[in-house]
Structure 1
Amino acid sequence: MHTVWKGSIQFGLVHIPIKLHTAVENKDIKLRQLHKKCHTPISYQKTCSHCEETVEKDDIIKAYEYAKDQFVVLEEEELKQLKKDNEDKAVQILDFVQLAEIDPIYFDRSYFLAPGEGGAKAYALLQKALSDSDKIGVAKIIIRSKEHLAIVRTYKQALMMETIYFPDEVRNVQDVPSLPEEPNVDEKELKTALLLVDQLTTEFDADKYTDEYRKDLLELIENKKNGEETVTTSPKTDEPAANNTDLMSALEASLERTKPKRKKAAAKKKRGSTAKKNA
């Protein structure tokens, strides 16, 4: 597993050498853009609209646009010095809190933390302390010249770090258009909706959720590689239309669709329990 960062975890006077490893991978299928005429990959060049010429890497500088077409130019040496002044190679834990206190909207990326050389004992101690206290650490870390807010938590036998957004990076929900000021919910519809939620409630099992689009796209690509121009996908079950004029009908239809599955699953579970008792 590739190491993306090396440093330490600091809380109080304790320093734990660690290595950072990306915990997840994006499995999106990347498609190239080709010239329709000759199927040659399209390349992208940086150009200046004023000079109407291609710009090389050495001729590009960085700037901040503080108003329309108004810039403050930042020299590379200034940025390097700023990075150097703030480049503390440490995950500095500031506070310990309950995970449930942080809304999921703040979460960004996940990383596994591995103990560095000589850090196994202190690493295990922090992992055990977080696990037994049911707490997480709120920390700061600088990765690739950007300061991140983060949490340190346990994941099975490991420590994990999740970068999270700063509060000013999360947009105000009041800016969302067309939100109802006060919920106007019919009592009968609410009871039916709660019954539907109850019938669909189960234990979370991540393995049962799959990316159907990626699967179908890979199948299409494979078939085209083998000379087949078409694929047949599984027919989709018609869903009841849920709209404001017939919401109750949609809820009731949904309940009817979930009943057989739940009864069948319950019966299967009961048969399994009976079989174990008789064995």
Structure 2
Amino acid sequence: MARALWKGAITFGLVHIPVELYPAEERKEFKFSMLDKRDFSPVGYKRYSKKSGKEVDWNNVVKGYEYEKDQYVVLSDEDFRRANVKASQTIDIEAFVAAGEIPPQYFDTPYYLVPTERGQKVYALLRETLRSTGRVAVAQVVIRTAQHLAVVVPVGKILMLNTLRYADELRPTKDFALPEEGLKGAHVTSKEVDLAKRLIDDMTEHWKADEFKDTYHQDLMRRIEEKIKKGETTQITEPDTEETKAPRSAQVIDLAVLLKQSLDRGGPRRKAADPRRSPKPEATGKTALRVVASARGSAKAPAKRKRA
């Protein structure tokens, strides 16, 4: 079992629920070593003093805040904790809102909240009350050295804490060139909308998270295993010339034609789908929607991350 990232309590009103915080995310990424291409020896990194040029051991590294040019205030772990003892030891619930009311762009990182032995009953009370009322709890919490806005959500038997982005952390959409809202402003016809709705209905199914796989990870692992079998363990090779082609540039063409062709073509959307899975509701076929056509030539592009 993973080590607790944080220990403290959920608080609202006079209610106090002792809990431990654990990461819910388990990243499955490749860990690559940096090599010197001349002799394939590992490349390392050192912490060094910019003043003397000498290497600095981790035991001698501290955190400093530069308040003026070359002038620092040194902060210890105790300083971070004592800056606001209550904030660093509690998940302070400030409000309850309807589940689903928080827009998806605010969600950041998921964590598990696990009750201590003496917090089991009141933990269950909060979990079941949130579930029965259809609410989630909005809270503030300090994790490591930063305060986070967060939401506490019941998921099965566990309470999850998902950190949220503050409103001023999101880039305003006015910075981007976007089509006007509404059909007229975007110059979309009712026929195109009807065909798009039919295609969306045709591809609609129940959400099953385990049906979506990181196929790029699997493909890259196969590529690595092939190179090991061939003894290509110390060679630097040029990338394959046969790669997925992508249009160099594209122009929008008749959407109605493309949508109609997509509906007529049908076919499975995910080639590696489990044949045992239950059929999607009111669906006859699945296909991908493509609404661009090549205007001139094509260029090499990296393989896209696909859903399997």
Q: TM-score per shorter chain, which class?
A: 0.7 to 0.9
One of 73, 76, 81 as aligned partner of 2:74: 76
Match of 1:167?
A: 167
Q: Any idea what the Cα deviations from partners look like across 1:146-165, whole Å, max 9, x if unmatched?
A: 00000001011111110111
Match of 2:145?
A: 145
CA distance in 2, matches of 1:213, 1:152: 32
CA distance in 2, matches of 1:72, 1:193: 60
Any idea what SS the aligned residue of 1:184 has?
Answer: coil
Question: Percent of aligned positions with the same letter in both sequences?
Answer: 34
CA distance in 2, matches of 1:72, 1:164: 34
Kept after mapping to 1: 8 A contact 2:65/2:75: no
Q: Give the TM-score taking structure 1 as reference length.
A: 0.79
Match of 1:126?
A: 126
CA distance in 2, matches of 1:170, 1:213: 29
Structure 2 residue 260 is the aligned partner of structure 1 residue 252: yes
For these two proteins, the number of residue pairs brought into alignment is 254
Specify every segment of 5 or more residues in structure 1 that has no aligned partner in the other structure, as ranges.
Answer: 270-279
CA distance in 2, matches of 1:23, 1:87: 25
Kept after mapping to 1: 8 A contact 2:5/2:23: yes
**1:120–1:141 distance in 2 versus 1, CA, 3 Å:** same
Alignment of 1:1-279 (within 5 A): 1-2=1-2, 3-46=4-47, 53=53, 56=56, 58=60, 62-63=64-65, 71=69, 73-77=71-75, 81=79, 83-88=81-86, 89-176=89-176, 178-181=177-180, 182-227=185-230, 243-258=251-266
Q: Any idea what the Cα deviations from partners look like across 1:229-276, whole Å, max 9, x if unmatched?
A: 69x9xx98x99x984124333212211222788xxx9xx97xxxxxxx
CA distance in 2, matches of 1:162, 1:197: 30
Q: Any idea what the Cα deviations from partners look like across 1:60-112, whole Å, max 9, x if unmatched?
A: 763459xxxx7484411488535412243011111010121101111111111
Residue 178 of structure 2 aligns with an amino acid whose one-letter code is L
Residue 224 of structure 1 aligns with an amino acid whose one-letter code is K
CA distance in 2, matches of 1:55, 1:136: 49
Kept after mapping to 2: 8 A contact 1:87/1:145: no
Query: Following TM superposition, by how much is the alpha carbon of 1:186 offset from its aligned partner in structure 2, in angstroms?
Result: 2.0
Root-mean-square deviation (Å): 3.3
CA distance in 1, matches of 2:113, 2:150: 13
Residue 5 of structure 1 aligns with an amino acid whose one-letter code is W
Kept after mapping to 2: 8 A contact 1:193/1:251: yes
CA distance in 2, matches of 1:59, 1:26: 28
Query: Following TM superposition, by how much is the alpha carbon of 1:26 offset from its aligned partner in structure 2, in angstroms?
Result: 0.9
CA distance in 1, matches of 2:65, 2:105: 30
Any idea what SS the aligned residue of 1:111 has?
Answer: strand
Query: Following TM superposition, by how much is the alpha carbon of 1:47 offset from its aligned partner in structure 2, in angstroms?
Result: 6.1
Kept after mapping to 2: 8 A contact 1:96/1:136: yes
**1:79–1:260 distance in 2 versus 1, CA, 3 Å:** closer
Kept after mapping to 2: 8 A contact 1:62/1:73: no
Q: Give the TM-score taking structure 2 as reference length.
A: 0.72
Kept after mapping to 2: 8 A contact 1:16/1:119: yes
Kept after mapping to 2: 8 A contact 1:63/1:72: no
Q: Is 221-230 or 82-91 further displaced after alignment? A: 221-230
CA distance in 1, matches of 2:63, 2:127: 44
Query: Following TM superposition, by how much is the alpha carbon of 1:42 offset from its aligned partner in structure 2, in angstroms?
Result: 1.2
Kept after mapping to 2: 8 A contact 1:242/1:250: no
**1:37–1:141 distance in 2 versus 1, CA, 3 Å:** same
Query: Following TM superposition, by how much is the alpha carbon of 1:31 offset from its aligned partner in structure 2, in angstroms?
Result: 1.4
Structure having the higher helix fraction is 1
CA distance in 1, matches of 2:194, 2:14: 54
